[in-house]
């Protein structure tokens, strides 16, 4: 038609080739969202599991996402360096992932919050960030995991103090010290050894893929005899809750960085 010229106003946004593409999704206004839905403080296992479930759906749909890392209301998806998913178009990647994450969150809500109706549909922002080297990529993921640790230690102390009777203001004043002070408070005042808290709270969640062979039997409709069994490869997704800052993790999963 006469109007089709308006397509020329669209801009190309292909990501630099041979560079790690990271899409980070983050809940919009989850401070309020978690309050309204009475999320357990500082960590709500149901909420974290729902985040993980949503991320799993994203990983299943995007075969080139090789690792994902989540904590709090955010998730980062890492594409292999040479992906040509959506021709590396940034808008396509971030919006498809972000919307699938959001719709999955609502879709699976009742599985994780069976007694708690979802009050309103949540939204998430997303962004694409490019990392040229392994070191940069690892530092990115380390940055998110360090953030998880710092926030979680603070929040654990803060809410322990508040539940112990302090005002939020006073709790903040006591919780704002350094790491060892916070561990000390938890241990001496609440008998909590921080390192014994669930790893999912302290480390966040790492999603990895694994290819496994399955033996299948296809039942033919309306026939009593079954067809012969055959093999197929399926991709399974596993969640880990462990340190990804140190070398050990990457040595154990060398394929992540090898760009195969």
**Binding region for ligand DGT (CB under 6 A):** 26-31, 34, 39-44, 47-48, 72-73
**Nearest residue to 69 via CA among 47, 85, 90, 52:** 52
d(CA 15, CA 116): 41
Residue 28 makes contact with a second copy by CB under 8 A:
yes
Residue 235 makes contact with a second copy by CB under 8 A:
no
Site string for a second copy, 98-137 (x = CB under 8 A): xxxxxxxxxxx---------x-xxxxxxxxxxxxxx--x-
Q: How far is the CB of 45 from ligand DGT (least distance, A)?
A: 8
Answer for the pair 216, 232: CB distance below 8 angstroms, yes or no: yes
**Nearest residue to 40 via CA among 200, 239, 205, 238:** 200
d(CA 147, CA 74): 11
| Residue 44, binding choice from a second copy, ligand DGT, Mg ion, none, Cβ under 5 to 8 Å by partner class | ligand DGT
- Residue 46 or 89 with smaller CB distance to Mg ion: 89
Buried b (16+ CB within 10 A) or exposed e, 206-220: bbbbeeeeeeeeeee
| Residue 56, binding choice from a second copy, ligand DGT, Mg ion, none, Cβ under 5 to 8 Å by partner class | none
Query: Which run of H or E residues covers position 195?
Result: none
Joined together, the tokens standing for residue 4 give: 């089709």
Size of the site for a second copy (CB under 8 A): 62
Contact residues for a second copy, defined by CB under 8 A: 1-12, 14, 16-19, 25, 28, 57, 61, 90-92, 94-108, 118, 120-133, 136, 139-140, 142-143, 146-147, 150
């Amino acid at each position: 038609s006469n109007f089709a010229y308006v397509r020329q106003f669209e801009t190309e946004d292909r990501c630099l080739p041979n560079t790690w593409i990271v899409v980070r999704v983050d809940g919009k206004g989850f401070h309020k969202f978690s309050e309204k839905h009475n999320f357990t403080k500082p960590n709500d296992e149901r909420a974290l599991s729902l985040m993980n479930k949503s991320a799993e759906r994203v990983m299943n749909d995007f075969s080139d996402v090789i690792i994902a890392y989540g904590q709090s209301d955010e998730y980062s998806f890492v594409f292999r360096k040479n992906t040509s998913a959506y021709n590396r178009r940034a808008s396509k990647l971030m919006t498809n992932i972000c919307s699938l994450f959001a719709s999955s969150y609502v879709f699976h809500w009742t599985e994780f919050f069976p007694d708690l109706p979802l009050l309103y549909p949540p939204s998430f922002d997303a962004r694409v960030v490019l990392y040229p080297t392994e070191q940069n990529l690892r530092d990115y993921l380390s940055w998110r995991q360090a953030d998880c640790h710092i926030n979680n230690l603070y929040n654990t102390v803060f809410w322990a103090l508040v539940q112990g009777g302090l005002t939020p203001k006073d709790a903040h004043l006591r919780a704002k010290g350094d790491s060892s002070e916070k561990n000390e408070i938890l241990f001496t005042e609440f008998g909590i050894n921080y390192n014994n808290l669930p790893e999912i709270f302290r480390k966040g969640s790492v999603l990895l893929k694994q290819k496994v062979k399955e033996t299948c039997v296809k039942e033919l409709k309306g026939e009593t005899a079954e067809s012969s069994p055959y093999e197929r490869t399926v991709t399974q997704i596993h969640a880990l809750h462990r340190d990804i800052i140190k070398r050990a993790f990457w040595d154990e999963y060398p394929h992540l960085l090898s760009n195969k």
